[in-house]
Structure 1
């Protein structure tokens, strides 16, 4: 996205619990899942002293029914018929891309934007290719990420190949996955997620984190995507349902209301070869940091979407980033990966760490995208 976004401030950030597909949120469609989170964020900024209408709702979504999920969710959340809404699809990066769009709208003059993402893998409609010459319609699991002439591997296979090419061993992947579950369970037990979660359909906690998921247990799992591979069900994220939303306002509105928040210093989107989509966050991170005039050493909190342990570790190695700095309260390997929402979940996690808990000043959120893209955002806590 072109143009400055540095006048945009996130002043509220909430999410639903993340449910494992087919379980706690299985009966909640995408719009119904996003609606209470939108409502809660709108109420939070109103209580905080931000008045006036919501100028736009922007939600990322990948696999919903269409029909502008953001608009349906805004109406279901009681935000008012006068509030316009836009649905963004950058696949796994949709939630963070929605924040990028929202920050740009605020920088262009909007007074209050709600931005985030939602995914209900459980209720995603079945899609069919139309029949050809009398054949039976064929169901497809995903649309093509690249046109004919480009390799377009499934994300798991691509992550496995990236790990191999980057020299990331199975042992490192299992150790990192075990770490994610250990940290996420510890955060859940101490109430580290409580302030950011809006209960939905009776679910109050993330479903996926597992206590005691050791490296030894993970080592017993077979390769999932190719014989002799290193990516398994245990060191991959889970297919999940969830929603996350932030409120963005101009810096002047934030200062007048006296609300602490996260100033958006810079955003960036980038492209890489479609056959290795997991690398997409690397150039996006580099560009966002360059636009912000910062380096990784200047950051206090780093949230990368953990789609696959091997993919995250390969990106960390390429960036020269110590993986122990990433997702200190666990990430998508433990929490799950609700595709269209995951990028926004990263921003909510930064808000909790830097604003609610005051553990540092500057942070980074980044996510890789099917088809070979990446999205990154750099933020700074402000009083």
Structure 2
């Protein structure tokens, strides 16, 4: 049997101010999260020859980790400056692009999407000392085909999508659809889509045994007449499997160490960066991707019910659309009138408040966090009113 290439993807995200809040109210949980971040590069140092891990870090998390006041506050727990430096190690870590405030892109106003991408690339480019990021991680894996031209505009080569939503255009069998990258096209633009294996990712999230993983991959790829790419994607700091501070019983020590040790012996499973797999094998056939997200503990993700199921969630999303329209009308008017940047402070404040209101976590927890969206929208409207009053 030919090699099975394994792409490990971990999503790391904290809502604005959440780590500061946890440090005050639930300090051990905050420590577990910070340790989970710090553990990643430290564990991989001894495996630079074989370890290959993709990380997506939201803009709000990068903002927190790079904030000098936060760094001072947690210095005795984790050295955030050193952590950011270690995450620059391109031999073992490939950073994926994402949205700054971690929005579910298909649910937010189209006019706001590019700013989430631009702001993330700005902070990530500064912290990781690079100008290009080949792969894109859609927050909550929320993807729709209409995003393709925008992702290509920002230079992304590929996007990761969930297996439950991928449908073939080119005739292909199940194992070809799931274990090969493909091309997706929309309005004259195309991008490579990399398919996340939903069931194997569920196992990665909850805890799995290396021997079971090998047997499962061998079973799933047995009919492949090509070298398959198996992609597993989960959060990287949630749940005891990733947060446990004892390496012998967490993801890294209980599972990934064995995988890496065996990879050194040229075992069946070979860790790989997706970009390197694409350079070597390319993409196969065309697919279309249904609009949807990844599965959560409560929902399959096919119609965004996790984020849109209640009346309060729907009302908040509708208000986002209305405030976004008002903010962009004011921004367009300011640009048309050649207004100096110094006179746009309130307008700029309204815009970033709007973007922050779009954080996916505001909607993920049913109605528990919806009020956070409205707090930012209230501030956005107040800033917009001050701007209008001052420029009337």
TM range (shorter): under 0.3
TM-score scaled by length of structure 2: 0.25
Higher strand proportion (structure 1 or 2): 1
TM-score scaled by length of structure 1: 0.26
In our comparison, the structure showing a higher alpha carbon Rg is: 2
Asked which structure has the greater RCO (Cα within 8 Å, sep 6+), the reply is 1
